[in-house]
Structure formats: C-alpha cells, structure tokens
Chains A and B, each alone.
Chain A
C-alpha cells in the first residue's frame, strides 16, 4: 500500500520568512495530493491540493509543487505569519475504489513574531 514520508517534523521560522515542507510517496498510482493544516484540538482543514496532471498550484501565499517522476511533493508558504503556526500534514491517494487518504507524519510549524 501507499506510504507517505514527511520532513521536517518541526520547523521554526521568523515572521516573514518562507517555509517549505516536503513529502515523498511510494505508490506511483497515487494521483491526488492534499495538504492539511491542523490546529490544536481540531480536525484537519484543507489548505491546498494538487492532482497528478499538474506540476504546480498556487493560492496566495501558499503553493504546492509535484514531481511525479521522483514521487515527491512540497508545500511552500511565503511571508509567514504567526497565525500560520500549526501542524501541517501531507497526504496521498489514488487508484480505483474509495480513494482513501494516507497521511504523512506531520510537520509542526512555529512562526515567531
């Protein structure tokens, strides 16, 4: 089955800096790659996603890149703000059936003022 690895596990940046989180996946059939933000005690919230027919997607300060050949995808946050502090999870899914998501191990992002 699918296996998703995520790095780094923790990331500390200064407000205004950029943050990059990277994930790799194992199943070449995966075709959907979402990123979620989870705040303490809450469920995950989708922040951006990308499908395998696209190499890059951007939404304001957030961008995701996908390299299908290397089977890795990355989340880029520019001009970070303290409210960006949270745990971020990547995930991958694909293939036939119910397309269940497999999550990465998470990255705790801390943005210091």
Chain B
C-alpha cells in the first residue's frame, strides 16, 4: 500500500520554542492530508484538514495560530507547534489519501515532549 512518512519520530524541545513536523506521501500525491493528535491511552482527535495550495481547515477548539499547517506541495504537509508548552506534549499523526474515496494511510507518528 501507499506510504506516509513522518519526521521526526521523536522530538524534545524547551518550553517557548517552535517545532516543525513533516508529513510526506512517498509514492502518491495527496491533495488532502489530515493531522491528528493522540494523548496517552486516548483516541485520535482530528486537529485539521490540510489542503494543497490553500489554507487548512481547523476543527473546533484547535488554535490555528498555535498549530500552523502548510501544505505547499502534493507530497508534503507540515505542522508547526509554535511557542510550545508542556501541555502540547502529545503524539501527532498525519494521514493522507491517494484518491478521494480511497483508503486513509497513516504516518508512524511524531512524539513531541515539551520540557
């Protein structure tokens, strides 16, 4: 099946700094990518829908100025956590489809720890 790659897999940063997470579709073009957040032993919560060439659509309660999403090409979306705080520590997962009604492929996730 199609492959979605995330980088970095783990990142530790100091409070107040910004962190960028990349999501790449390796063997297909994705006009739409999705970003999820998962706290320990909890479900995946959709944060935003990333659309190539346009602004992301954020879910209710997600701060768009804190979680900046850029989808500059058909194979790359980035999530930047700005001015990170310890409560932003979480597992961030991206996903993408190779066609509108196709299977959703997930990345391996990025674990963010903010000290």
Which of A's residues lie within 8 Å of B, judged by CB?
32, 34, 36, 41-46, 49, 89, 98-106
Contact = CB atoms under 8 A, between A and B. Distances in A.
A104 B108 contact: no
Interface of B: 1, 4, 6, 32, 34, 41-46, 49, 51, 57, 93, 95, 100-101, 103-109, 111
B106 A45 contact: yes
8 contacts: A43-B4, A43-B109, A44-B93, A46-B103, A98-B57, A100-B34, A105-B42, A106-B43
Nearest to B93: A43
Main secondary structure of the interface of B (DSSP, over half): strand
Given A100-B34, A103-B43, 14 more contacts: A34-B104, A43-B4, A43-B93, A43-B108, A46-B1, A98-B34, A98-B57, A99-B100, A100-B49, A101-B34, A103-B44, A106-B41, A106-B42, A106-B43
